[in-house]
Amino acid sequence: MKKVDIIVILIVCIVLAPFFIFKSFFEVYECFNVAHPYIMAAVKFGILATFGEMLANRIKNGQYLQRTFGLVPKMVVWALLGVWIAFAMKVFAVGVPIVVEKAGITGLSEAMKATLSWEKVLGAFCISTMMNTAFAPVFMTFHKITDIHIAHYQGSIKSLLNPIHFSEIFPALNWKVQWNFVFKKSIPFFWIPAHTITFILPDTFQVLFAAFLSVILGLILAAASLKK
């Protein structure tokens, strides 16, 4: 562990400490989270997911930040993606139990609002499975495309001002890694179980937990890169 790693750990501890030490601090956060869920989703993902990519960069290149990392563009992209994820989570959380009930498994909608039960676990699993098979592949592919776009401009702010050339980037993706590792392995073995836990949690903590999972996403992408 290098000196910079110790500094990063100390910064993380200082940022998180007020939530555990001061009850009023947590209450203010919770109230703002309820009143402005999508603004908070942007903040959470903008900070936590970008930090996840910094950890991935540390694993791959030995540095948290490089000149071409693109800190600001990545934070902006993750903030926008965070809003998209928050919308998707709400859509699947509300819609999937209703669809499953029409298939003959009753009581899931009410179970998702109640305390922990086998019905709630089943409902959370169904929501997670549907979201990670219908939404996650599109999200992961889009995120990878934005990463390549930012890298093309060497992390410059210009990457936010210029259009993404999807028709050029899409066929150039490493589909062997994208399919064999990111889709085929990370989705069934990590994301579906992880998001099952997410949807068991109270509504106010779901997006926050999903944002923390995005830190894990950064580590998974780093592992995928090393595998390549």
pLDDT digits (tens, 9 = 90+) for 12-53: 899 888 878 888 888 888 888 889 999 999 999 999 999 988
**CA separation, residue 194 to residues 106, 144, 198 (Å):** 24, 21, 6
CB within 8 Å of 172: residues ≥ 6 apart: 148
Q: Which amino acid is at 212?
A: F
Say whether pTM exceeds 0.75. Answer: yes
Task: Report pLDDT digits (tens) over 173-218.
Answer: 999 988 988 899 889 998 999 999 999 999 888 998 998 887 877 7
